[in-house]
């Protein structure tokens, strides 16, 4: 199927159709809506379900992953440990007079961009207007857009700031706001310095109101917390992956750009647990020749956006992509996105720069899709190292480790602590437990120092935050190097995490596959691949003639039996109009029933993008539809046994 999407793309026209045909719409619209919340209507919901079904087959079934479904409600302690309570936040500025709240980085971005635009206009240069509706609405209120020429060095400074906007801390943003005299754009009023706003929705679990909880901002933690059970499900074998599909929530300060930044969204996440010393992948050979467009961090740090097109094999061999497992998943993500309709020319893998990485990640590559809003992060592929399992294990005292038999036993020498516990109680009373715990949790390096201290002074000084300072004498403690033979290696696995934002992928695919027919720009087509199209077949009787009705029933019953999703359009509109309405919905096939059908049972099959038609027996036509939709046959392959069919009036 040919896709003519990018040419003459009109976002307005796409968004109007998506809304009119109820692919999605603002939630609670009759109540005025709530920004950042959207409902999927029937075609959007079916498209989403088909994408999820494809995802499950592509990843969970094909790779034998362990799928879990964990709760969204999560107690405070879990996100305190994972770091989200302290670090999962954006910076916001308040206007104390009007009560308005701005997301600090977006505010700096918009004000500087509008000043640069004013400068261009003052210099008599063309200004490109390509903004989303939200932004336009906000801009209307902006007082300060005057066409003021700026000094050349100011222009350069603004541009540098804009390029680095994702990397600033709250303090940095506060300084920029002061330095560039950024105020409330609508009123000119002053703003408070940026403060952190945590993006998690908070609630109370249970009737007492005492147990604070959050709605999860990602599905990952549920998978980490179940690690030991999952390892057991996998017969203690490594590596393995878990997977989860479900809603997550982020209380965005100022949601915008439709489905691209929302407060409730569907995620599909994989946590691949791997031995940190063995990040090879058994199926890497299957994908190593896949050619991809990479944007490594070095290139970006040098201020460029030039893509490096190379194979995954080469990317791993040269060290650009850290290891085979990461490379394998990047290639699998690429294959999945193409399967569901992404235009490969508008897909790139961008490596995170160190200043923009999430607090848990040690390396990260984003699959970004190009849209009229720019390049959008749609899939993250992060190496979370051993971060999550380690912090949860430390907090709960549960071991989240793998024990692997060693091929040969090894002798290891470690400092060990030997406490005379009976003497601790009488000596330290209520603090005895805390002191013992403190001593038993020291690292090898710390123990080495302590052993020297003990040898030198016959005692050691112990300083425990919140408990106190103590001296432990040598009759209570021995610290010595001990040799042991080990048969098992115990380690905390590393985690490679491919994480899919389904709503963002859906919107980007709409942009990639939307076009209008050259002969009539009002006839729009959404060229969704048959595999994921909401409806596969439109059944169209030529007229309302009574002879045709039993044939409609016969054909729909055949399609229902074969579980091919279809719709009937027996309205009085022209055939051409009925097809046009379903081209908008992305329905790939049409079956027309006419008076020939009454005579010999034959029907025509129409292909959406080319409007080509073939004719044949119902059984052969249904077979062709199934071959193309579910078995990956092309139109030519699927219809090779069917007769071409020409009609002058069909598309009128």
Task: Choose among 431, 433, 423: nearest CA to 469.
Answer: 431
- C-alpha 433/C-alpha 513 separation (Å) is 65
Q: Distances from the Cα of 182 to the Cαs of 107, 174, 213, 277, in angstroms?
A: 8, 10, 36, 50
Residue ranges of E strands in 95-142: 101-103
- DSSP-assigned states of every residue in 368-393: EEEETTEEEEEEEEEEEETHHHHHHH
Task: Choose among 448, 430, 500: nearest CA to 271.
Answer: 500
How far apart are CB 508 and a second copy at their closest, in Å? 18
Task: Choose among 387, 360, 465: nearest CA to 86.
Answer: 360
Q: Checking DSSP bridges between strand 24-26 and strand 195-198, what pairing results, if any?
A: unpaired
CB of 352 or CB of 536, closer to a second copy: 536
How far apart are CB 65 and a second copy at their closest, in Å? 9
Query: Is residue 308 helix, strand or coil?
Result: strand
CB of 207 or CB of 303, closer to a second copy: 207
- C-alpha 77/C-alpha 63 separation (Å) is 33
Instruction: Spell out the residues 6+ positions from residue 373 whose beta carbon is closer than 8 angstroms to its own.
Output: 132, 257, 260
CB of 177 or CB of 614, closer to a second copy: 177
Please answer whether residues 225 and 392 qualify as being in contact, where contact means their C-beta atoms are separated by less than 8 angstroms: yes
CB of 179 or CB of 229, closer to a second copy: 229
Please answer whether residues 358 and 250 qualify as being in contact, where contact means their C-beta atoms are separated by less than 8 angstroms: no
Please answer whether residues 8 and 517 qualify as being in contact, where contact means their C-beta atoms are separated by less than 8 angstroms: no
Query: Is residue 603 helix, strand or coil?
Result: strand
Please answer whether residues 70 and 223 qualify as being in contact, where contact means their C-beta atoms are separated by less than 8 angstroms: yes
Helix axes 549-561, 618-630, angle to 10 degrees: 40
- C-alpha 270/C-alpha 245 separation (Å) is 9
How close are the terminal C-alpha atoms of the chain, in Å? Answer: 22
How far apart are CB 67 and a second copy at their closest, in Å? 5
Task: Choose among 506, 553, 556: nearest CA to 536.
Answer: 556
- C-alpha 595/C-alpha 551 separation (Å) is 10
- C-alpha 174/C-alpha 402 separation (Å) is 46
- DSSP-assigned states of every residue in 481-529: EEEEEEEEEEEPPEEEEEEEEHHHHHHHHHHHHEEEETTEEEEEEE---
């Amino acid at each position: 199927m040919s896709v003519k999407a990018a040419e003459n793309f009109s976002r307005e026209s796409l968004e109007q159709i998506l809304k009119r045909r109820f692919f999605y719409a603002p939630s609670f619209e009759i109540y005025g809506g709530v920004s950042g919340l959207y409902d999927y209507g029937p075609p959007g919901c079916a498209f989403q379900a088909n994408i999820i079904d494809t995802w499950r087959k592509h990843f969970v079934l094909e790779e034998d992953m362990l799928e879990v479904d964990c709760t969204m409600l999560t107690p405070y302690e879990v996100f305190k440990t994972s770091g989200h309570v302290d670090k999962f936040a954006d910076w916001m500025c308040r206007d104390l007079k009007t009560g308005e709240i701005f997301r600090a980085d977006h505010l700096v971005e918009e004000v500087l961009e509008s000043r640069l635009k004013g400068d261009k206009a003052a210099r008599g240069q063309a200004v490109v207007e390509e903004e989303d509706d939200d932004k336009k609405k906000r801009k209307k209120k902006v007082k300060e857009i005057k066409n003021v020429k700026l000094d050349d060095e100011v222009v350069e400074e603004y541009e540098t700031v804009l390029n680095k906007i994702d990397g600033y801390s709250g303090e940095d943003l506060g300084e920029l706001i002061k330095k560039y005299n950024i105020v409330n754009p609508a009123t000119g009023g002053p703003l408070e310095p940026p403060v952190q706003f945590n993006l998690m929705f908070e609630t109370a679990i249970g009737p007492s109101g005492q147990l604070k909880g959050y709605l999860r901002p990602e599905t990952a933690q549920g998978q980490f917390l179940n690690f030991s059970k999952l390892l057991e499900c996998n017969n203690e074998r490594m590596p393995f992956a878990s997977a989860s599909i479900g809603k997550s929530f982020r209380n965005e300060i100022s949601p915008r750009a439709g489905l691209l930044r929302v407060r409730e969204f569907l995620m599909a996440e994989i946590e691949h647990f791997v031995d940190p010393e063995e990040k090879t992948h058994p199926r890497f050979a299957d994908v190593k020749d896949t050619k991809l467009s990479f944007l490594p961090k070095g290139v970006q740090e040098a201020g460029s956006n030039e893509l490096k097109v190379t194979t995954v094999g080469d990317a791993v061999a040269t060290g650009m992509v850290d290891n085979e497992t990461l490379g394998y998943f990047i290639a699998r993500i690429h294959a999945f996105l193409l399967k569901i309709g992404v235009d490969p020319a508008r897909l790139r893998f961008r490596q995170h720069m160190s200043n923009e990485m999430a607090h848990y990640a040690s390396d990260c590559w984003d699959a970004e899709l190009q849209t009229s809003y720019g390049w959008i992060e749609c899939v993250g592929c992060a190496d979370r190292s051993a971060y999550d399992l380690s912090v949860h294990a430390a907090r709960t005292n549960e071991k989240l480790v793998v024990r692997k038999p060693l091929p040969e036993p090894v002798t290891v020498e470690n400092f060990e602590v030997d406490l005379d516990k009976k003497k601790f109680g009488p000596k330290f009373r209520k603090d005895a437990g805390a002191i013992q715990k403190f001593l038993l949790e020291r690292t090898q390096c710390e123990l080495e120092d302590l052993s020297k201290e003990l040898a030198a002074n016959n005692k050691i000084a112990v300083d425990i935050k919140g408990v106190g300072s103590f001296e432990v004498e040598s009759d209570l403690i021995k610290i010595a190097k001990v040799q042991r033979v080990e048969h098992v290696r115990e380690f905390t696995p590393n985690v490679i995490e491919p994480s899919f934002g389904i709503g963002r992928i859906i919107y980007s695919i709409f942009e990639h596959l939307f076009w209008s027919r050259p002969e009539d720009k009002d006839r729009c087509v959404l060229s969704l691949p048959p595999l994921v199209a909401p409806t596969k077949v439109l059944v169209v009787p030529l007229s309302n003639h009574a002879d045709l009705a039993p044939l409609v029933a016969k054909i729909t019953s055949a399609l229902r039996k074969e579980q091919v999703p279809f719709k009937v359009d027996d309205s009085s509109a022209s055939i051409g109009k009925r097809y046009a309405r379903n081209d908008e919905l992305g329905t790939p096939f049409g079956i027309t029933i006419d008076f020939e059908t009454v005579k010999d049972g034959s029907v025509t099959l129409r292909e959406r993008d080319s409007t080509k038609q073939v004719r044949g027996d119902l059984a052969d036509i249904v077979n062709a539809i199934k071959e193309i939709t579910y078995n990956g046959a092309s139109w030519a392959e699927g219809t090779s046994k069917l007769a071409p069919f020409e009609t002058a009036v069909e598309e009128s």
